[in-house]
Structure 1
Amino acid sequence: MNRTSLRTTAPAVTAFALALSLSACGAGNEEPSSSGSDSSLTGTLAGAGASSQEAAVSAWQAGFQTNNPEVTVNYDPAGSGAGREQFLAGGVAFAGSDAYLDDEELTTAAERCGSDVVEVPVYVSPIAVIYQLEGVDELNLDAQTIGAIFQGDITSWDDPAIAETNPDADLPSTNITPVHRSDDSGTTENFTAYLDEASDGGWSEGAIETWPIDGGEAAQGTSGVVAAVGNGDGTIGYADASQAGELGTVKVQVGEEFTEPTPEAAALSLDAANPVEGRGETDLALDLNRTSTEAGVYPIVLVSYQLACQTYEDAAEAELVKGWLTYVASEEGQQASADTAGSAPLSPDFSEQVNAAIETIAGA
């Protein structure tokens, strides 16, 4: 199941956004500032979820709490699966997730909230294929080879399939150690969705959130994968590109070219995104085309969501969540994420749609 993506200018979606915005204004709600700043806000807000958002959330916390000094925002980067579970159980007010809610989770969310869910993409970043291999500073791989490496079918760095796309590299006979997430992970789901769609049989396990194959090395969270790859030789893994650090990052074949994992290249892959069918007006879940051959596009993209209720029993909690998400989606918040985490800011058109959904959040 392909469960992620972002930019769209579909007239129907824009109409939904306009209708939501007009409805909110007609209800007498005061339009928030572009940064979500409101010095009247006070209290503690708890969230949990995607570890890929950790660096961005740190930037958002700093900016939002500066604008609202009487507010404390806590975020546990426990992973997308854990964040969704905590949100659906009512343990946190909002969650971060690298995969949108499935149909069963949507039903649970409606029961938990007593309303529709607000599900908005706020963080766009390439997923880098990271590696550590002594003597090899640049590496080009196609989707089929990446899939076969993580499937466990290619086990040595001097394999002919790797040599074919790296004719000038001095590839050692070092064994390959694939590193994967040990926890339920939206990053894993996005990465395997790419492999499932683009690897031409190199990967045969489908798009999954929980790693299905024995072998290799398992690590908790994005930081755990990065650490495991960095502490080895011959290691390869996958992680949000913003957290790759000094590790090597694979250039992925797209058409006849090999493309680096940059925010600009990731943003290009969002132009063909489509809204997921059958969703409510405040649910902006979208699907990606992961098999693009367009030059300059980086196809392994993470689009991470924040989840909230449209209605909260506690009006003060509703205002905290609304203020937080308004800041996160604002131009200031998106730039803070870009500066700190290397993400691609939301486009103006899509930002308008996101903010229209956030504006509907209110107390019961």
Structure 2
Amino acid sequence: MNLKRSGALLGVVAAGALTLAACGSDNNAADVDVDASASTATCEGKDTLSAAGSSAQKNAMDAFVSTYIAVCNDKGKSVNVAYNPSGSGDGRTQFIAKQIDFAGSDSAIKGDQAAQAAERCAGNPAWNLPLVFGPVAIAYNLEGVDNLVLNGETIAKIFNGGITKWNDPAIAALNSGATLPDSPIAPVVRSDSSGTTDNVQKYLEAASRGAWTTGAGSDFTGGVGEGAKGSAGVAQAVASTPGAITYVESSFAKQSNLSVAQIDNGSGPVELTEESAGKAIEGAAFASTGGGDLTLDLSSIYGSTEAGAYPLVLATYEIVCSGGYDADTSAAVKSFLTSAANEGQTGLSEQGYVPLPDSFKAKLTESIDAIG
């Protein structure tokens, strides 16, 4: 049976979980035909799952949940997934504290947090499962400048105070023929702990030719700019502030109708598109060496000079227990993730994400099936 993923279904999600009140009332799911009869999701286990974390994947999660509801309704089961886009750091913290069933995070859980997560999972390791790929936009609000070109070095200097005017010679050199105003740049950065910030700062370490010296991490280290909470927060701040610039997931830049800079990775300017981001993702490798954990090694693409590859891409993970769930929770987590990894990917490109490559789907499905 073909069903429409629609705003009405998202209303069911919101009505069914009070925790979604914190997420806002945006309807970000696209109307996409879903072949419910072809889904391998079992819709078994407990009726309602709880999750929190990455705001970068909020729009994708809306789509996953509405699709899952449609699939399970067709199978005679009422289900819900309450997802609060409270930030990657908060999601990992809540997961460790056993307050939610799984977490969304733009950075893999590791180190001390991974050890704490294993305790939460009854001695079993937590797995990082990449479910959503999203290019990060360098989004800006500059009247009369529609095709801005930046590179790793100029982006770094904008966000550490090394460049403060839009007509700085370094920006002008990348934008021959453009009329750049003699006006101040207003950087907007994430005020909350964010995997997006971590990934952007890792990109700047790799691509800025030494201009970024303050390190990476989930908290912004550049020392300049106004802070705003969440992906929606920084996008809204730039939309309302002439001369502003931020880093934000492509879906949020699109939603707020922001201009997006092209990035010159050394082989000429590259526009952010599904194809250019996909070209960069194809070069990603798994950092993990075995088991069901699928942590990615994305560092190799941040400094890529491959022609036509948009290098600023992050993967959003679902952090799950590899074992240790009760039977009902395990069944529900596996069922939801199975749906999200398959029919849930339909239409993600319309929201600024890059659907999972087939090779990732196959490996991801193996890990989902292995959850205990």
**TM-score scaled to structure 2, two decimals?**
0.85
Gaps (5+ residues) in structure 1? 1-32
1:291 deviates by 0.9
Looking at structure 1, the residues matched to 107 and 40 of structure 2 have their Cα atoms a distance apart, in angstroms, of: 25
> Is 1:303 equivalent to 2:315 in the alignment?
yes
Structure 1 position 131, deviation (Å): 0.4
Deviation at 1:112, TM superposition (A): 0.7
Letter of the aligned partner of 2:117 in structure 1? A
Contact 2:45 2:327 in 1 (8 A): no
8 Å CA contact 1:49–1:84 kept in 2: the answer is: yes
Does the Cα contact within 8 Å between 1:116 and 1:280 map onto a contact in 2?
A: no
Matched, 1:338 2:333: no
- Alignment check: 8 A CA contact 1:151 1:204 kept: no
Q: Report the aligned-residue RMSD.
A: 1.5
Mean CA deviation greater in 38-47 or 110-119:
38-47
Which segment drifts farther, 257-266 or 47-56?
Answer: 257-266
Q: Contact 1:34 / 1:327 at 8 angstroms: preserved in 2?
A: no
Aligned to 2:332: 320
TM-score (norm 1): 0.86
Structure 1 counterpart of 2:64? 60
**Shift in alpha-carbon separation, 1:136–1:338, aligned structure 2, 3 A:** closer
| C-alpha distance in structure 2 between counterparts of 1:327 and 1:287, whole Å | 25
After TM superposition, list the pairs within 5 Å mapping 1:169-208 onto structure 2.
169-208=178-217
Q: Which residue of 1 aligns with 2:80?
A: 72
One-letter identity of the residue aligned with 1:189: D
For 1:202-225, what per-residue CA distance to the aligned partner results, in whole angstroms no more than 9, with x for missing partners? 211112210124331100000000
Q: 2:228 matched to 1:216?
A: no
The answer to whether residue 365 in structure 2 is matched with residue 355 in structure 1 is yes
**What is the SS of the residue equivalent to 1:256?**
coil
Alignment check: 8 A CA contact 1:126 1:301 kept = yes
User: For residues 29-48 of structure 1, what are the structure 2 equivalents within 5 Å?
Assistant: 35-48=39-52
AA aligned to 1:304 is: T
TM-fit CA distance, 1:104: 1.8
Identity of aligned residues (%): 40
**2:247 equivalent in structure 1:** 238
What is the identity, as a one-letter code, of the residue corresponding to 1:53? Q
Provide the C-alpha distance between the structure 2 equivalents of 1:86 and 1:258, rounded to a whole number of angstroms. 40
Residue 255 of structure 1: how far off its partner (Å): 2.2
Q: Measure, in 1, the Cα distance between the counterparts of 2:325 and 2:49.
A: 15
Q: Which residue does 2:32 correspond to in 1?
A: none
- The answer for the alignment partner of 2:292 in structure 1 is 282
C-alpha displacement of 1:40: 4.5
CA offsets, 1:177-209, max 9 Å, x none?
111000000010111111011101221111221
**Distance in 1, Cα, partners of 2:274 & 2:217:** 24
Distance 1:276 1:357 in 2: 15
Give the drift of 1:295.
0.8
CA contact (8 A) 2:69 2:80 kept: yes
- Which stretches in structure 2 are left out of the alignment for 5+ residues? 1-36
Corresponding residue SS for 2:181: coil
Match of 1:117 in 2: 126
Cα offset, 1:39, TM superposition:
4.7
Question: How many pairs align?
Answer: 327
